[in-house]
């Protein structure tokens, strides 16, 4: 069964077929024939062969007189020697089907896998197939919300490729740009892409993203808020508040933690949020290289007010010292 990572990346290219030729030309520098239309085609390459061959995605570029290029898009998460036999089949079958040039485009979130995919595939008599490969280094970094608005899938792909390898502040900025780019999408698709973006961030980056959005006057996405507070309830559950475990997590996912609960659930929620924010604060301070004194660590560990911790998180994103991050006057 395909993994969630595989399906998430593939969905971006399936929802936006124009993304594949755009990246081939802009990021890989490969010139494609002039085309006026991009469309998804059948992924079945079995034809009359006894073995089943199915690519992840097939895109057709059409010009004034018919097909001008075919693109086989494959999402590859790990080395798979079998692909060195199936990719040439995909290219040859698509070339015969469309009667034009065919390309194999491999997308991977791992630069190590990308290097393996770029190796030429020998087909005998001196000929070989060299797949076009989009690894993290080839995927553009999208920091501009306007670019993300123009091609939302590109903004989401940028977060997938680069957020795990950047510090909390830069990861948050990439996610911020991607989320702002989702404003033009329908609600269902926007929520789905938001989940993909936020899933790719670690806790420190999520906290920095929250501070970034608040500082710019933007409302947090409801799904983001639910997910953030649900993690707090999860922490409260771990501390033994049984009612918070049974009802807090369920209600937090379904309707949001803000709907309120009975006293026991409320206690678990507050405890969980406090623990989650304290952990976020430590991660941001560590990521930014702001060292804490023993007195400052005690001050953080003794704080049981989630609103105070939230304020310290916001201050820690831009502060030049731990003292400034914990300043009471801000």
pLDDT digits (tens, 9 = 90+) for 122-180: 988 888 999 999 999 999 999 998 999 999 999 999 999 998 888 888 898 899 899 88
Kindly report which listed range (45-49, 138-142, 321-325) carries the lowest average pLDDT score. 45-49
If you ran DSSP here, which 8-state letter would residue 218 be given? P
The CA distance from 19 to 11, in Å, is 11
Task: Count CB atoms within 10 A of the CB of residue 156.
Answer: 30
**Where are the domains positioned within the chain?**
4-138, 141-201, 217-293+300-318
Q: Mean pLDDT across the chain, nearest whole number?
A: 80
pLDDT reading at 209 higher than 50: yes
Confidence band for 79, pLDDT divided at 50, 70 and 90: very high
Q: Which of 66, 59, 53 has its CA nearest to residue 24?
A: 59
Q: Which of 244, 240, 161, 159 has its CA nearest to residue 205?
A: 159
Q: What is the DSSP string of 14-58?
A: HH-TTHHHHHHHHTT-------SEEEEE--B--TT-SS--B-SEE
pLDDT at residue 2, rounded to an integer: 53
Q: Residue 67 in 3-state DSSP?
A: strand
pTM over 0.85: no
Confidence band for 256, pLDDT divided at 50, 70 and 90: very low
């Amino acid at each position: 069964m395909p993994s969630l990572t595989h399906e998430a990346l593939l969905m971006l290219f399936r929802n936006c077929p124009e993304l594949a030729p755009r990246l081939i030309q802009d990021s890989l520098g490969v010139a494609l024939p002039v085309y006026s239309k991009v469309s998804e085609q059948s992924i079945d390459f079995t034809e009359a062969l006894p073995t089943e061959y199915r690519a992840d995605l097939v895109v057709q570029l059409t010009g004034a007189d018919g097909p001008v290029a075919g693109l086989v898009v494959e999402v590859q998460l790990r080395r798979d020697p079998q692909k060195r036999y199936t990719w040439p089949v995909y290219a040859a079958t698509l070339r015969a089907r469309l009667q034009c040039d065919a390309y194999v485009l491999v997308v991977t979130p791992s630069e190590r896998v990308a290097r393996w995919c770029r190796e030429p595939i020998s087909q005998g008599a001196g000929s070989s197939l060299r797949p076009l490969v989009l690894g993290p280094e080839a995927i553009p970094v999208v920091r501009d919300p306007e670019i993300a608005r123009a091609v939302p899938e590109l903004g989401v792909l940028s977060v997938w490729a680069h957020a795990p390898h950047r510090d909390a502040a830069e990861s948050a900025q990439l996610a911020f740009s991607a989320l702002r780019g989702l404003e033009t999408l329908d609600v269902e698709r926007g929520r789905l892409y938001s989940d993909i973006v936020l899933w790719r961030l670690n806790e420190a980056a999520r906290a920095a993203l929250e501070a970034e959005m608040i500082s710019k006057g933007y409302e947090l996405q409801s799904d983001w808020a639910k997910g953030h507070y649900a993690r707090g309830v999860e922490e409260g559950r771990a501390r033994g508040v049984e009612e918070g475990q049974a009802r807090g997590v369920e209600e937090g996912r379904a309707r949001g933690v803000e709907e309120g609960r009975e006293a026991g659930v409320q206690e678990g929620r507050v405890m969980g949020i406090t623990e989650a924010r304290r952990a976020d604060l430590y991660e941001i301070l560590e990521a930014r290289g702001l060292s804490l004194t023993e007195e400052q660590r005690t001050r953080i560990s003794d704080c049981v007010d989630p609103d105070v911790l939230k304020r310290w998180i916001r201050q820690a994103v831009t502060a030049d010292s731990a003292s400034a991050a914990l300043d009471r006057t801000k």
